[in-house]
Amino acid sequence: MYTQTDELATQYGSINLGRGAPDFDGPPVVRHAALTAMRSGLNQYSASAGHPELLRVLAETAASDGLDYDPGAEITVTAGATEALAVALETLLKPGDEVLMLEPFYDSYPALVLRAGGIPVPVPLVRHGSAYVLDVDAVAAAVTARTKVLLLNTPHNPTGWSASADELKALADIVLRHGLHVVCDEVYAELVYGSVDGDEMRHPSIASLPGLRERTIVCSSASKSLSVCGWRVGWAYAPRRLSSALRHAHRMLSYCAPVPLQLGVAEGLTWARETGWFDQQRTVYRERRDALVSGLTAAGLRPVVPTSGYMVIAQTGTVLPHDPMVANEVLARDHGVTGLPLSGFFENPERASGLLRFAFCKELAVIEEAGRRLAALSSTDAVPSERSRKIHAGSE
Ligand code: PMP
């Protein structure tokens, strides 16, 4: 999917809204701190669990959310959230254990679960009007004697859903009732846009609920919050009981995250907290979300308005072919915009029919230009157009 998206964007010179990576740099302070660390000779291994400075800052961040983690024993710096998720699952799973995950799911999840010997068990988020909602009863009904882990992604990619306080509580009840563990992927925790009245806030962690800290491994990274996806600096918060196994898995897998970049992230997280930068970022992203949503709406692509993250799911509806790969090609070629087909985000790829994902972690001018290009869609013929039929048949 990502390959098709990138290839289409290159081939047709289209605006690539398929990739969920910013087209801008994060704050300069982050890069300066990393360069300073590099120039001052911090270019060898740090302690495997992480540079003490970043561990200290991560403990402070958790404390500001009311969570107490010992930086010397309960926090581990990893190569992005991806490695944090991998080692968390490896720590918790035995062969044949079932892992509940909300579908659509971030496309790495099934592979990460299988790699750790587990069995992915998707539970659909339900499309309700213009939003996705959690069906708590469906989560409860999916629990079996073999269920070991709830792999929870909130805020959620790709739907933009994020769990409300009531939903977190309901999920926590299920976890406690069945003695499960939670691996919580919170990479978009700083990107919650709140309610329509403009109320913006940081996402609460399920680990802060009574009884959950001891059963939860929280995974996150600087990729989204500081716009440094390429740095590969992430982390896991795990209770002492689980942390040494997790740290061992991390030591064997990557040993440590890039050291100067760990220091850049430490400086960036401190600076962002002290200056209120994350609040400013939320305002910036809210404006970009609104621009993208209005462009998609005007094009007839019926977007789901996300309350978090930086992805929007749109429907091909009557203006594009239902096959998302074909729709994406038509979009790239005829309209100069590329999205992402979601087949990798569902157990059964047919459930991705009619859906494309667009990312708004792009400069506002780029999103607005995409909107102008997409506007032409609403005046094109209903599908299938002659052109899209030919693409589908492979004759063009
Ligand atoms: N989880 C989710 C939900 C994501 O969207 C992403 C990145 N797109 C990741 C994890 C991976 O994050 P990282 O870059 O920190 O490995």
For ligand 1, mutation pick of 105, 106, 186, 308 (most atoms within 8 Å of CB) = 106
Residues near 393 by Cβ (< 8 Å), separated by ≥ 6?
none
Same domain, 233 and 220: yes
Q: Find the Cα–Cα–Cα–Cα dihedral 28, 31, 32, 37, rounded to 10°.
A: 160
| Residue 392 pLDDT exceeds 50 | no
The verdict on 223 and 285 lying in the same domain is no
**pLDDT of 391 strictly over 90:** no
At residue 394, the pLDDT reads: 38
In this structure, the answer to whether residues 292 and 315 fall within a common structural domain is yes
CA of 385 to the centre of ligand 1 (A): 36
> How many whole angstroms from its chain centre is CA 318?
29
Last residue of a domain, one of 221, 256, 275: 275
Residues 327 and 344 placed together within one structural domain of the fold: yes
Q: Which atom of ligand 1 is nearest to the CA of 20?
A: 8
Position 285 confidence tier, pLDDT thresholds 50, 70, 90 = very high
Quick check: CB of 221 below 6 Å from ligand 1? yes
Give the pLDDT of residue 321.
Answer: 95
Q: What is the pLDDT of residues 95-147, one digit of tens each?
A: 999 999 999 999 999 999 999 999 999 999 999 887 899 999 999 999 999 99
Task: Give the pLDDT confidence of 326-344 residue by residue, as tens digits.
Answer: 999 999 999 999 999 999 9
- pLDDT value of residue 195: 53
Answer whether 187 contacts ligand 1 (Cβ < 6 A): yes
Question: What number is the average pLDDT over the span 2-23?
Answer: 92
Say which CATH number the domain at 306 has: 3.90.1150.10
Ligand 1 pocket test, candidate residues 78, 159, 223, 232, most atoms within 8 A of CB: 223
For residues 222 and 320, membership in a common domain is answered with no
Q: How close is the Cα of 251 to the center of ligand 1, in Å?
A: 21
pLDDT per residue as tens digits for the range 205-249: 999 999 999 999 999 999 999 999 999 999 999 999 999 999 999
Q: How far is the CA of 82 from the centre of ligand 1 (A)?
A: 6
The residues, any chain, with a CB within 8 Å of residue 101's CB and separated by 6 or more, are 109, 113, 120, 121, 122, 123, 150, 151, 152, 153
Q: Is the CB of 229 under 6 A from ligand 1?
A: yes
| Residues 151-203 pLDDT 10s | 999 999 999 999 999 999 999 999 999 999 999 999 999 999 975 444 556 67
Residue 92 binned pLDDT confidence (cut-offs 50, 70, 90) = very high
247 and 311 belong to one structural domain: no
Residue range of the domain that includes 186: 28-275
What is the total count of domains within the chain?
A: 2
CA dihedral 237, 74, 93, 344 (to 10 degrees): 20
**Res 131: pLDDT:** 87
- 92 CB near ligand 1 (under 6 Å): no
Going by pLDDT thresholds of 50, 70 and 90, the confidence category of residue 381 is low
Given ligand 1 and candidates 58, 76, 82, which is best to mutate, with the most ligand atoms within 8 Å of its CB? 82
Contacts of 126 (CB under 8 A, 6+ apart): 132, 133, 134, 135, 138
Least confident of 68-77, 138-147, 193-202, 293-302: 193-202
Residue nearest to atom 5 of ligand 1 (CA): 157
For residue 82 and ligand 1, the question of a CB distance below 6 A is answered with yes
Do 353 and 221 share a structural domain?
no
Average pLDDT in the 317-326 region? 93
| Any ligand 1 atom below 6 A from CB of 185 | yes
Determine whether the shortest distance from the Cβ of 162 to ligand 1 is under 6 A.
no
Domain harbouring 63, CATH code: 3.40.640.10
- At 385, the pLDDT band (50, 70, 90 cuts) reads very low
Residue ending a domain, choose from 253, 275, 297: 275
Asked if 345 and 230 sit in the same domain, the reply is no
Confidence of residue 69 (pLDDT cuts 50, 70, 90): very high
Same domain, 271 and 282: no
Residue 313 near residue 351 (C-beta atoms within 8 A): no
Q: Using a 6 Å cutoff on CB, does residue 157 contact ligand 1?
A: yes
Atom of ligand 1 nearest to the CA of 79: 16
Residue 223 CB less than 6 A away from ligand 1: yes
The CA 187 to ligand 1 mean position distance, Å, reads: 6
Co-location of 238 and 365 in the same domain: no
- The response to whether residue 360 sits with its C-beta less than 6 Å from ligand 1 reads no
Residues 248 and 365 in one domain: no
Q: Mark whether 8 and 82 lie in a shared domain.
A: no
Question: Quick check: 89 pLDDT over 60?
Answer: yes
> For the chain, what is the mean pLDDT?
93
Predicted local distance difference test score (pLDDT) of residue 379: 74
pLDDT at 141: 98
Could you give the CA distance from residue 189 to residue 63 in angstroms, rounded to a whole number?
15
**Band (3; pLDDT cuts 50, 70, 90):** confident
| 27 Cβ below 6 A of ligand 1 | no
Among 215, 250, 275, residue at a domain's last position:
275
Q: Please state the atom number of ligand 1 nearest to the C-alpha of residue 156.
A: 3
